[in-house]
Structure formats: C-alpha cells, structure tokens
Amino acid sequence: MWDKLRKFGLQYCDLPTMLWNVCFMLRALTVSVDSRNPARIPIIFYIFTTVISACYFYVYLVSMVWFVFWKCRETGDVIAAMIVFSLGISSEIGPCKLFYMFMYEKVIKNIVDGYLACDAQTLKSDRFRQNLLKGLRVVKKRGLIFWMVIIGNGTIYIMKPIVTPGRHIMEDLFIIYGLEPMFESPNYEIGFLLTAGGVICTCYLPANITALLTVLIGYTEATMLALSEELVHLWSDAQEHYNKYLLEAEADNALVTSNDDIKNQIINKYIKQKLEEIVKIHTTNINLIQQIEHVFRGAIAVEFLLLITGLISELLGGLENTYIEMPFALMQVAMDCLTGQRMMDACDKFENSVYDCKWENFNVANMRTVLLMLQNAQKTMVLSAGGMTQLSFTCLMTVIRSIYSAYTTLRSMMA
C-alpha cells in the first residue's frame, strides 16, 4: 500500500507512472482510459459516482434553478440569487468534462496508448532521458498543485460550516428544494449531506480530468524541451561519435584513415540517424496534440463560458460572500492557459534549436531535413477553446479583463 502511495510523489515522474496516478483516480468516476489496466471497475465506484452525481444534480441543478428563478423572485434577494447562480454555473465544469470523457472514451484511450508508445521509442540518449524526466517532474509538480488547490478548496468549503458555531450549511442563503425550513432536523442533516455530495462531485471531476490533460500535454512540452537540447548538442555529439569511432578502431588494431571525406560520411550518417529519430518523435507529438485538441476543444470552450459567467456572478454576489469560490474558478482558467502557454514556449524553443543546430556544417541531405524540420516547427502546437482563442497568458488576461468589464457594466446597471 505504501509503495503505491509513494508513486504519487515527485520521485516517480516518468510518463507510465504519472498516467497510472491519474487513471487510478479516474477509476473512481468509472472512467477507464488506460488499456494497460483492463480490469473491471469495482461496483463500489459505480455506487460512489451515482450517489455524488445524484447529489450534484439535485442540489446544483434542480434546486439552483428553483431557488434563483422562483424563490428569489418572490423574496427579491438579488445577492442570494447571484451567489447561488454562480455556484450552479461554476459547478457544471466537471460534469461537462466527464460527458466528453465518456463520449470520446475510445479516442482518449488511443491517445494515451499513443503517448505510451511514443515514450517507449524515445531517443537512446542519457541526456535526453534526464532532460525529459526533469521536464516531467515540473509537469507533475504543476498537476499536484492544481489537484491540491481544487480538492483543498472543496474540503475547506465543506469544513467551514462544521467549524463555525451554530447550525450552518455551505451557503446559508441557499434553500434546497423541498427542505424548508433548512435549519430544522432532519432537513438540516439531509441538506448538508446532499450539498457535501454535490461539492465532492463538483471538485473531484475537474481536478482529475484536468490532471490527465496536464500530464498528456505536459509530456509534449517536456519532449520538445528535451529535443531542443539534443539539437543544440547534435554537432558536438556527432564529432564525439567520430572520435569514439577512431578510438574503437585503434583498439581493434584496424586501419584508420584521417581522410576528411570519410570523417564527413561518418559524422553525417550519425546526424542523419539522429534527425530521423527527432523528426519521428516531433511528428508523433504533433499528431497527438491535434487529437487532444479535436476531443477537448468543445469541452474547454464550454468550460471557459461557464467559468466566465460564474466569475461574473461571484463578483456581483460580493467577494465577501464568494471568497472561497473564487480560487476554484480562477485556478481552472489559469491552469488551462498555463498548460497551453508552456507548450507554446517549448515549441518556440524547439524552433530556435532547429536553427541553432549548426546545420551549416551538415551535408546537403541533412540540410534538407533540417529545413523540413524548421518548416514543421514554425507551425506551433496550440490548444484552443473551441477554435476561437488559443490557450495562453494573453488569453488569460483577455478573460480577466472581459470579466471585469462585464462586472462593472452589470454592477452599474444594478446600482
């Protein structure tokens, strides 16, 4: 048991282990995306997913709609309506992503298999492997921080009414349909358990599904950075290979000639082999990212729309009332944009490394290969929200600015 828990730590940051970490957590949602582990999902997980989904549906969909569009119209409490509306809208991100996971389950399995196959065919270079693991360690740390923030946010949200004196639920203003009066037994106990189940569903889903995307896209990022280092050192590695060839020939008492033509042939043969391996890995990652973009672009677009609407509602409800909800929404927007930006940065570094590989010393055939690589590298791999905007820091700033502009406009209208 302890050995399995240790694999969730930063000491184990290779791709197979990281995917096992995420797929292990996703099995609790009855989602299986790892063909390496075709075992049946235990019945307890089906019960768990059914219970928390039912709690979520009743509290954050049925009760939210009733409270915002019926109850608050009777009471005229706009602030309560905004707070509960923001909760309902922001909570829909996880179920939306889960829907896409079920809809494209076979495609996602193929993507995961593709990444594992790519990892198994990496360059036979100690430097490449070390740089890849170094990059994956950063990716895993990023995913762990995101996971802990989202899950921690939900835990604090559930614990807040428990540690507060008196009878409280997560949002005292929120009345769950059919449980009036809310603070009398057994309505209070039922309402608290239903809301807690809904919060678990709301937080657990996006935490683990986004973690899967972070790992897959992060692997491409780490691969591009590791390949960049290989290209920068390609010419010196080729010369080192030639010197090693000379030493081996001398050790075998073979006839060694220092003819420049033979030297160039040996060096360029080595460079050709390395370039072919790099092109293959680069092309594979391009195809994998395109598949991820195809599967999740719609989910990310819906997620952004929901998060923007939710954040505007949270601001209208007052930060003093929604300060626990804000990190949940902002962290998801920021994580998607950070993941997209880091991949774009890695692709830019790869492009610069292709031009900086001392290609002017290569023969004509290898120069042509480098030119082809440069043309492919200039088509930066990107993720988008529905094909409308690329996920990047620029996108994040645009979203924040749009949220604030919409908030100030609506606030002035409500005043």
Query: Which of 15-29, 61-75, 302-316 has the lowest average pLDDT?
Result: 302-316
Share of the chain above pLDDT 70, in %: 94
pLDDT band at 254 (very low <50, low <70, confident <90, very high): low
Q: Could you list the residue range(s) of the whole structural domain that residue 317 is in?
A: 2-414
Taking the C-alpha atoms of 182, 187, 188 and 192 in order, what is their torsion angle to the nearest 10 degrees? -110
- Mean per-residue pLDDT, 151-165: 89
Q: From 210, 212, 209, 201, select the one nearest 49 (Cα to Cα).
A: 201
Average pLDDT of the chain? 85
First to last CA, the chain: 58
Q: At a CB cut-off of 8 Å and minimum separation 6, what does 74 contact?
A: none
Total domains, the chain = 1
Global pTM reads 0.90
What is the reported pLDDT for 313?
81
Of the candidates 114, 117, 150, 119, which has an alpha carbon nearest to the alpha carbon of residue 132? 119
Q: Which residues of 320-356 are buried (b: 16+ CB within 10 A; e: fewer)?
A: ebbeebbebbbbbbbbbbbbbbbbbbbbebbbebbee
Q: Residue 345 — pLDDT band, cuts 50, 70, 90?
A: very high
pLDDT in tens, 375-387: 888 887 888 887 7
pLDDT bucket at 257, cuts 50 / 70 / 90: low
Average pLDDT (129-149) is 92
> Helix (H, G, I), strand (E, B), or coil: what is residue 384?
strand
